[in-house]
């Protein structure tokens, strides 16, 4: 077996993203995973700056989830890890616990905002237990965010909700992710404002090149 190595950036602003789908049935081939394709499609639409992604499809096993997150951050060098699935109240839904186990800082605002967005559609959004953490090593740090399992919910929580006139009704969580990555020493990620307008304080914005 080949030992995983650190992913090389092709550009200083290259964002390295780990994508993890947590599902017993998809991992064993009972049905086709939809989470990873949905994440790749959305990122391809939303990001302007360069990015690379590495995928993992794994079962709902706490140790396996934690090991995968550690591998993606510590060994592969991901700046951002997005997980999908395993965040409900069922006994096999253990993604939040496995994520908290590897984090060095909890970032509760992400889970709070995701539930606020989902509550606009279904009252059962209060059963969702998504969390987000920072994982820090001596030389690297990454943001890890749990997302819902359904492609529609993934898009809504990342992108937020807009009215017919384009007015933002509920900001998507990805609006805060590029600046968070700045603060932990990662690359400068830029988005397409018509999809998701990444927010940065004026002092943190790059001056446009002439």
Within a domain: residue 10? no
What residues are paired with 57 via a beta bridge?
21
CA distance 21 to 59: 8
Q: Are 51 and 16 in contact (CB under 8 A)?
A: yes
Asked if the structure places residue 194 within a domain, the reply is yes
Query: Does residue 43 lie within any of the structural domains?
Result: yes
Q: Is residue 8 in some structural domain?
A: no
In-domain check, residue 5: no
Query: Does 158 fall in a domain?
Result: yes
Q: Distance between CA atoms of 99 and 143, rounded to whole angstroms?
A: 11
Residue 153 domain-assigned?
yes
Q: What is the pLDDT of residue 88?
A: 94
- Helix or strand (DSSP H, E) at 39: helix 35-46
Which run of H or of E encompasses 68? Answer: helix 62-70
- What is the span of the domain harbouring residue 145? 15-201
The number of domains in the chain is: 1
- Cβ atoms 131, 100 nearer than 8 A: yes
**CATH at residue 196:** 3.40.980.10
Residue with tokens 């990001």, as numbered in its chain = 47
Low-confidence spans in the chain with pLDDT less than 50 = 210
Do 193 and 175 meet the contact criterion of CB atoms below 8 Å apart? Answer: no
Q: Which residues contact 82 (CB under 8 A, 6 or more apart)?
A: 17, 18, 19, 20, 39, 145, 147
Give this prediction's pTM. 0.94
Residue in 79, 67, 66 with CA at minimum distance from that of residue 16? 79
pLDDT score at 210: 39
With b for 16 or more beta-carbon neighbours within 10 A and e for fewer, the 158-177 pattern comes to bbbbeeeeeeeebbbbbbbb
What per-residue confidence (pLDDT) applies to 3?
72
pLDDT of residue 147: 97
With DSSP H G I counted as helix, E B as strand and the rest as coil, what are the percentages for the chain, rounded to 5? 35, 20, 45
pLDDT tens by residue, 51-81: 999 999 999 999 999 999 999 999 999 999 9
- Whether 4 is in a domain gets the answer no
């Amino acid at each position: 077996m080949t030992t995983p190595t650190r992913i090389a950036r092709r550009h200083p602003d290259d964002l390295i993203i780990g994508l993890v789908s947590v599902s017993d049935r998809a991992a064993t081939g009972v049905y086709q995973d939809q989470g990873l394709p949905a994440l790749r499609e959305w990122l391809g639409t939303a990001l302007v700056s360069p990015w690379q992604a590495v995928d993992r499809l794994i079962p709902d096993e706490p140790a396996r989830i934690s090991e995968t997150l550690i591998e993606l951050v510590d060994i592969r060098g991901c700046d951002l890890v997005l997980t999908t699935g395993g965040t409900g109240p069922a006994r096999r839904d253990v993604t939040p616990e496995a994520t908290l186990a590897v984090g060095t800082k909890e970032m509760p605002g992400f889970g709070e905002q995701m539930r606020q967005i989902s509550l606009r559609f279904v009252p059962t959004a209060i059963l969702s237990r998504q969390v987000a953490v920072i994982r820090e090593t001596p030389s690297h740090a990454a943001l890890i965010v749990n997302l819902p399992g359904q492609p529609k919910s993934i898009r809504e929580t990342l992108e937020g909700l807009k009215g017919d006139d384009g007015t933002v009704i509920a900001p998507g969580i990805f609006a805060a992710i590029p600046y968070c990555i700045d603060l932990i020493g990662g690359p400068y990620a830029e988005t397409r404002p018509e999809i998701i307008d990444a927010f940065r304080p004026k002092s943190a914005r790059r001056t446009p090149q002439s």
